[in-house]
Amino acid sequence: MKDQRTKQRKKQSRQPNSGVKQSKAIEQPLEKGRYITGLDGLRAIAVLAVIAYHLNFEWAAGGLLGVTVFFVLSGYLITDLLVAEFVTTNTINFKNFWIRRARRLLPAMFTMLLVVVTYVTLFEPEMLQKLEKDTVAAILYVSNWWYIFQDLSYFESFGPPSLLTHFWSLAVEEQFYILWPLIIIVMLKIKVREGSLFSMILAGALVSAAAMTLLYEPGADPSRVYYGTDTRVFSLLLGASLAVIWPSRKLSTSLPPEIRWKLDFVGLSALAFVFYMFWGTSQYEDFLYQGGMVAISVASMLVVAVMVHPSSRLNTWLSFKPLRWIGVRSYGIYLWHFPVIVLTSPQWGADAPSLFRTTFQMVLILVLASLSWTFIENPIRKGALTRFCRVVKRGEWRRERSFIGRFVTIACILGAFMSVSAIGFTTTSVALSKDKVITAIQDKVGKEEPPTENKVSPVPKPDAPKKVEKPAEERAEKPSDETPSEEEPSQDEAPAEEKPPVQDSRSLTVIGDSVMIDVTPHLEEVFPNAKVDAKIGRQFREAEDIVQQKKSSGSLGEIVVIELGANGPLAEKKMHALIKEIGDRNIYMITTRVPKPWQKEVNDTIKSVAGNYKNVKVVDWFTKSESHPEYIGNDGVHLTKTGAKTYADYLLKHID
């Protein structure tokens, strides 16, 4: 026994130096492989916050910050694992690390993609074209950069979003998993001291946070800084820096009672701040991108630091079984939640959440995630694939019939999904090829209308601004049967066929989004010289460039109407810049009605800015359409025939 202890001491004395000049607190592992159950509770809180945000609950306007909590936790756990391995072996086995990550992440992801693509192929084929490209980006873990280069907003899309928008965060994490082990081993190999390593990682986090602050433009769409690996990696790095100075495996199990209370108080206070950020902030607040995300990352660091300590009671409190159940399945829940919400919400979730629909969505998300965990993730995590290969190699078919049967059944089901998905993508490719041929023929023959002046690239697919032609039947259509308001001109009360509207020869330019497309025919009855530049999904920030182009070509009218804001918030300074660019022309700004969080902000900004200019008038469509559901379509923003006619009449009444 004595010889054995002597050999052990000699073995430890020969153990390779970790490379990190460590303090006594982190020299000897306390408990190898300690599973911290409370972290599952933290995962559950984070994923539920994200789901509440995507369900459009007003009390969870900051729920998107749940992803930030995930980033901090991932940065901590991965770095804790890598440093522990290096301390023990003086190296990091990259192959094993990446295989473990792939085994944990890829099976559930591929299963979800197969099911979603199959469903879309069978029931929502119009979504296949977009889904095909997004799926490739998702598989390659570059979704965040794909969305940036496609100018696809995370916040401002009123139309149907991508079913895989949420893959941006998985892409950020996977990019970190690929690069971070390579960086950390270099630091450890050159024997960087613990304090220096912590400072270097912290400096990297500060650079990333500064990039977010500098690239963020107040009031504009923040998607670039929200998606970017460069502007989001600070959360992962903050978690990583904590792992260097606070490794979970080497913390003391015994603390005096007064210290334990202080530890728990810090953790609870930090967790309360995280909850406040979920509830009290929103994606449009400048503070969020100018320090707010750093603040919640630091708070998440403190929560993790307390929870991984073996003397913490916070870990016990968050080990509540229902939370743990959700937390264990949080990856699958995150994978499934967004496509489920999009595919089961009317008009892609444009309206407010309902109790029945929300309950159905939550149950469906949990069921799918549970099935994924039970039949895909957990078996593969425990070596089901390795076992299957061993059975095949040894020919032990009879002894493992039940296992083989389950494996083959799951493989057949996934194979069926894959076949349908392949058919769907093939059909889409053929349809796109036909569209290209037709487009080429049309371009060769030539179109009736001259090329558009607007060269602004739309999101996500370029569409030329539309000069909308009104059908003949709409030209003869009678006005709405509803009683006009008292202030409306008397000519609106006369039927169109009895008394045609008096035409106005002045030049009119209208810049708008898809709402204006429906209104255009009615405007042209009064303004035959109207030039309407309307496009689906247009953002307010595009308007200034459009005005500049029209001014340079001499096509900007003496009257300018701006109908924008349905697709996202607008910056006050952008509106001032637009008005100054238009000049002394008569300008009419139309308020918006859209069941989205930015509605009030947009309308308040329009009214506030317009009040500073004598040549700018507000056409308050929001107030006009209040309590008139017959004006608005099922999506809550686009117009019915009655609504389009009323909208046009209301606008024309305001034009002097």
Residue type, 259: I
Following DSSP, what letter does each residue of 379-443 receive, concatenated? HHHTTHHHHHHHHHHHT-TTTTHHHHHHHHHHHHHHHHHHHHHHHHHHHHHHHHHHHHHHHHHHH
Contact residues for 15 (Cβ-Cβ < 8 A; gap 6+): 88
Distance, in Å, from the CA atom of 506 to the CA atom of 526, rounded to the nearest integer, reads: 10
Catalytic residue (one of 235, 514, 533, 649): 514
Enumerate long-range contacts of 544-548, CB under 8 Å, 24 or more apart: 544/574, 544/577, 544/578, 544/581, 545/456, 546/454, 546/456, 546/511, 547/511, 547/578, 547/581, 547/582, 548/581
Dihedral of the alpha carbons of 519, 524, 526, 531, in degrees to the nearest 10: 100
Distance, in Å, from the CA atom of 541 to the CA atom of 518, rounded to the nearest integer, reads: 22
Distance, in Å, from the CA atom of 450 to the CA atom of 472, rounded to the nearest integer, reads: 22
514 is catalytic: yes
Asked if residue 460 has a cis previous peptide bond (ω within 30° of 0), the answer is yes
134 is catalytic: no
Catalytic residue (one of 151, 463, 545, 635): 635
Catalytic residue (one of 54, 166, 309, 638): 638
* Residue 314 tokens, joined: 């916070």
Distance, in Å, from the CA atom of 40 to the CA atom of 141, rounded to the nearest integer, reads: 24
Distance, in Å, from the CA atom of 3 to the CA atom of 605, rounded to the nearest integer, reads: 81
* Residue 516 tokens, joined: 């204006």
638 is catalytic: yes
H and E: helices and strands count for the chain: 27, 5
Residue type, 540: F
Beta-sheet strands, E only, within 455-536: 508-512, 531-534
CA 380, chain centre distance (Å):
29
CB atoms within 10 A of CB 425: 18
Residue type, 39: L
Distance, in Å, from the CA atom of 238 to the CA atom of 460, rounded to the nearest integer, reads: 34
Following DSSP, what letter does each residue of 560-617 receive, concatenated? EEEE--TTS---HHHHHHHHHHH-SSEEEEEP---SSTTHHHHHHHHHHHHTT-TTEE
- DSSP reduced 3-state for 74: helix
Torsional sign, CA 439, 445, 451, 452: negative
Q: Catalytic residue positions?
A: 514, 635, 638
